[in-house]
Amino acid sequence: MNNTQIELLAPAGRWEAMEKVAAAGADAVYLGGKRFNMRLLQPGFNFSDQELRDAVEYLHQQDKRLYLTINNLYYDEEIEELADYLLFLQELGVDALIIQDSAIIKLHQQLGLTVPLHASVQMGLGSTEAVKFFADNGVSRVILSKNLSLQEISQIYKETGIDIEYFAHGDLCISHTGQCMMSNIIASKSGNRGICIKPCRW
């Protein structure tokens, strides 16, 4: 986008939520499939492959955008399936991929994909140099850390010119996003694998 126009982006875990936020005026919706995203604990949430196809069509008919989250960290044995999934998402026509693992940047290049990449808040980006690094490697938007001040956000934009996304209201996580190990230590359920049990809220 790279301009001063504000885009209102809202999440949707189910089809009904997507319909409601679209009707309420969201410019774009971000959501996840049944694989490779940060919200995998609740089986009734997220979109099947067919639902993703239908969601792209539904939102595009309303001139709205769909951003797909593939924002976990991945292991070597998952890369082949991940590559196939990326090809599928490109074919669907999603408007961007929200990513955490830098391996996706490499796969994106190797597969010759053109779908834009957005750096997830899970990357913990909070400095100009970090943002420049990802911009230089093909990322078109960064979702900055939730702990930054407006002054810091403004400075990063002035020095990089990249599209900036920021949570106006988020998960209320008390830790530095993408760096917390509390859930993993307590219950062997990693916040970077989509199965955080939110122990900070107990």
pLDDT band at residue 170 under the 50/70/90 scheme: low
> Is the pLDDT reported for residue 175 higher than 70?
no
What digits encode the pLDDT tens for the residues 82-96? 999 999 999 999 999
For the chain, which domains are there? 9-201 (3.20.20.60)
pLDDT band at residue 143 under the 50/70/90 scheme: very high
Q: Can you list the positions of beta strands (E) in 1-44?
A: 9-11, 28-32
Q: What does the mean pLDDT of the chain come to?
A: 88
In degrees and rounded to multiples of 5, residue 108 shows phi and psi of -55, -45
| 200 token code pair | 């900070």
> Is the pLDDT reported for residue 28 higher than 50?
yes
| 126 token code pair | 């909070």
Residues of the chain with pLDDT > 70: what percent?
Answer: 81
Euclidean distance between CA atoms 178 and 22, whole angstroms: 28
DSSP category for residue 47: B
pTM of the model: 0.86
Euclidean distance between CA atoms 138 and 144, whole angstroms: 16
pLDDT, position 199 = 67
| 141 token code pair | 């938007």
Strand pairing report for 96-99 and 65-70: parallel
CB 125 within 8 A of CB 134: yes
CB 127 within 8 A of CB 155: no
